[in-house]
Amino acid sequence: MPEISRFLGIIIAMYYNDHAPPHFHAKYGDFEAVIAIDTGELVEGRVPPRVLGLVQEWREYHRAELTEDWNLARERKTLKRIEPLE
C-alpha cells in the first residue's frame, strides 16, 4: 500500500486495486479508517475523533491531489506524495 503522506503519527495511503468510491486509508497506531475523498465520509473503520478531525482538515486542503492519486492508482502508475498537515 503506497504511502502518500505522513503527519503527526498519521499515515495516509492508497491501494492500487481498491474499490469505489474514491477514498484513502488513514492509519494511526492500531486504528485504521477509510475516508471518501469527495465527501469526507467515514466509509469504514475508525480513528480517534481528534485524529479524524486532523485527517478531514488535511483532506480539504488536498482534495484535488487525492483525486489525482486515485486516478493514477487506477492506471497502476506511481502515486505522488502529498504535503503533510502543518
What is the per-residue pLDDT across 12-59, written as a single tens digit (0 to 9) for each?
999 998 889 999 999 999 999 999 999 999 999 999 999 999 999 999
Q: Is 43 exposed, middle or buried (0-12, 13-18, 19+ CB in 10 A)?
A: middle
Are 2 and 14 spatial neighbours (Cβ–Cβ below 8 Å)? yes
Query: What confidence category does residue 4 fall into, taking pLDDT thresholds of 50, 70 and 90?
Result: very high
Predicted TM-score (pTM) of the model is 0.95
Per DSSP, the chain holds a count of helices (H) and strands (E) of 2, 5
42, three cell numbers = 467515514
